[in-house]
Amino acid sequence: MSMVREGRAGTSPVRSPRAPRAKAPGWLLVLAILCASTAAIPLVYLVARTTDAGFAEFADTLLRARVLQLALNSVLLAAAVTGSCLVLGTASAWALTRVRIPAPRAMLLVSALPLAVPSYLAAYGWLVWLPTLDGFFASWLIMTAVCTPYVTLPVVAALRGASGELEAVARTLGRGPWGAFRSATWPRVRPAALAGALLVALYTLSDFGLVAMLRFQTLTWGINSAYGASFDRNQAALLALMLVALALTVVAGEKRFRGQAGQGTGRGRMPLVPAGRWVTAALALVLAAPLVGVAVPVAGLTSRLVEAQTLRELDVARLGEAIGTTLGLAVAGALAAVMLALPIAVLAARYRGRLVAAVEAVGFLGHALPGIVVGLALVFFALAAVPALYQTVVVLIFGYAVLFMPKAIGTMRSGIAAVPGNLVDVSRMLGLSPLQSWWRVTARLALPGIGVSALLVAISVMKELPATLLLRPTGTSTLATELWSRTTVFEFGAAAPYAATLVLLAAVPAVVLSGFRGVAKEDL
């Protein structure tokens, strides 16, 4: 893309909204570095804690059979879920875009529904029907259903944007629908598919609620046990660092094998393949994840809610307190994440350079930090550096900001980058200071993107479980923690009202969010 675009005759060229300057002002750079550095606090503290433990203890922990088994379980589950989501998500995206199925728009909406259901809530719904469900297979099945939309949605978008000419040529040369797709179209949509697979792998590695409910012991389970049972700081920190190393390895591997998105050679569209007798199979591909990840859990939740005993024993005051706490933390976490992400988003949207790229990369570090790792690291950090803040809402909100800052950065960066640079230049020519120009021009035009980022963070805060369990003040409970505390003792009826309320509250900002058009694809 050209770095400049010509203005009208007789005027100097003005910058395109997508052409950032090379040099950022010093004050903005310093502010962005300070905000980005907050995202690195958990990782830096874990490294320091591991260093204090010494190499001997580190090696002893790594070589324990129990630790190796936990790491192997984490890797196997992440690999299995990622592989199945990659296959099922790509196949369902192909069915949605290349096969003539009934109500395709409705089917696309249905395929995205599992994103609204937290993994631990889906596990709870299944346990209502099958209380003895546990182990690797159950964890793999439900996690695959919950995570498949992370692959389906970006691949659908890539397929719709890809040219169909090469695939049509492959069909004329005798290739079948799948053969033509594999040879001509897959290289073009592979980056989108692998980006979705990266999210699946990170989500699976960081999950705690589902694997704990289904009694499949992974590193997240080991971290929680080491911290909760004996408060073994060193062992918990070492296990947390192992989990971060696995997550960073996944991120590096995805960047290594992703490649570049291919460009279409034309705007030809592939004619839809008549489903014929295979319509049932095509619909099964699309509906498999929503059925397992949404329909069965919601049916289990509904069955508990309609029981008279559940309603009679409902503690309305406690439910109301949990609702208020959840909403309050969601608003506070969203504001904190937006405030920390805003300088980074402005820097990334308006300026370029190696330092700018490094600052943005550090801001996105939360993508590779599981919630249980952030929670554990901030527990240790608060005790060592600011003991007065230990088990206070300040540390909890800060943890939310670190975890979900990437969601805010991505969306706000897109919104700010879309503000025409010439409008900013005109405002400066009229005598406005940089801060006044930002407030009167950029902030107002980028406000929808900022609002979207706040909604994304608020939804994530409502559903967050492991960080909340570790960082919440004593006596503070959210809908997620109330649901967790009841399901761990198999009180499924008592957990049902909290689960239903959590789904309804998370659905409200999700519905509002669906009305915006500026949500970045990476924030799905």
CA pseudo-torsion sign 352, 358, 359, 365: positive
Mean pLDDT along residues 304-314:
68
Q: What is the pLDDT of residue 104?
A: 79
- Reported as a single tens digit per residue, the pLDDT across 174-208 is 666 666 666 667 777 788 788 788 889 888 998 88
268: left (phi over 0), alpha (psi -120 to 50) or beta: beta
The three-class DSSP label of residue 15 is strand
Does residue 59 fall inside a structural domain?
Answer: no
Does residue 55 fall inside a structural domain?
Answer: no
Q: What is the pLDDT of residue 519?
A: 44
Does residue 57 fall inside a structural domain?
Answer: no
Mean pLDDT taken over the chain: 79
Residues spanned by the domain of 230 = 64-296
Q: Are 207 and 114 in a shared domain?
A: yes
18: pLDDT strictly greater than 60: no
Phi/psi of residue 307, nearest 5 degrees? -70, 130
Q: What is the pLDDT of residue 398?
A: 94
72: pLDDT strictly greater than 90: yes
Mean pLDDT along residues 153-164:
74
- How far apart, in whole angstroms, are the C-alpha atoms of residue 283 and residue 47? 48
Torsion over CA of 352, 355, 356 and 362, rounded to 10 degrees? 150
Domain boundary among 296, 317, 348: 296
- How far apart, in whole angstroms, are the C-alpha atoms of residue 49 and residue 510? 39
Does residue 257 fall inside a structural domain?
Answer: yes
Q: Are 241 and 286 in a shared domain?
A: yes
326: pLDDT strictly greater than 90: yes
Q: Are 80 and 119 in a shared domain?
A: yes
Does residue 218 fall inside a structural domain?
Answer: yes
- Reported as a single tens digit per residue, the pLDDT across 280-304 is 888 888 899 999 998 999 888 888 7
Q: What is the pLDDT of residue 14?
A: 39
313: pLDDT strictly greater than 90: no
Three-state SS across 454-476? HHHHHHHHHHCCHHHHHHCCCCC
Q: Are 372 and 322 in a shared domain?
A: yes
pLDDT classification of 261: cutoffs 50, 70, 90: very low
Q: Are 501 and 415 in a shared domain?
A: yes
Higher pLDDT, 229 or 76: 76
Q: Are 292 and 317 in a shared domain?
A: no
Q: Are 289 and 311 in a shared domain?
A: no
Does residue 191 fall inside a structural domain?
Answer: yes
- Class of residue 85 by CB neighbours under 10 A (exposed 0-12, middle 13-18, buried 19+): buried
Most confident residue range from 42-46, 412-416, 442-446: 42-46
Question: In this predicted structure, which of 4-8, 67-71, 313-317 has the lowest mean pLDDT?
Answer: 4-8
- How far apart, in whole angstroms, are the C-alpha atoms of residue 213 and residue 222? 14
Q: Are 375 and 411 in a shared domain?
A: yes
Domain boundary among 296, 318, 344: 296
Mean pLDDT along residues 68-89:
94
- Written as one string, the DSSP assignment of 93-112 is HHHHHHEE-SSHHHHHHHHT
Q: What is the pLDDT of residue 174?
A: 63
pLDDT classification of 266: cutoffs 50, 70, 90: very low
Q: Are 131 and 217 in a shared domain?
A: yes
Number of domains into which the chain is organized = 2
Does residue 16 fall inside a structural domain?
Answer: no
Q: Are 465 and 424 in a shared domain?
A: yes
- Reported as a single tens digit per residue, the pLDDT across 83-113 is 999 999 998 988 888 777 888 788 888 888 8
268: pLDDT strictly greater than 60: no
Q: Are 290 and 159 in a shared domain?
A: yes
Q: Are 28 and 177 in a shared domain?
A: no
Alpha helices in 133-185 (DSSP H): 135-147, 149-161, 165-172, 177-180
CATH code assigned at 390? 1.10.3720.10
10 Å Cβ neighbour count for 26?
8
% of the chain exceeding 70 in pLDDT = 76
Report the candidate in 311, 334, 309 with the shortest Cα–Cα distance to residue 462: 334
Does residue 51 fall inside a structural domain?
Answer: no
Mean pLDDT along residues 426-441:
68
Single-letter residue type at 96? L
Domain boundary among 233, 262, 296: 296
10 Å Cβ neighbour count for 380?
20
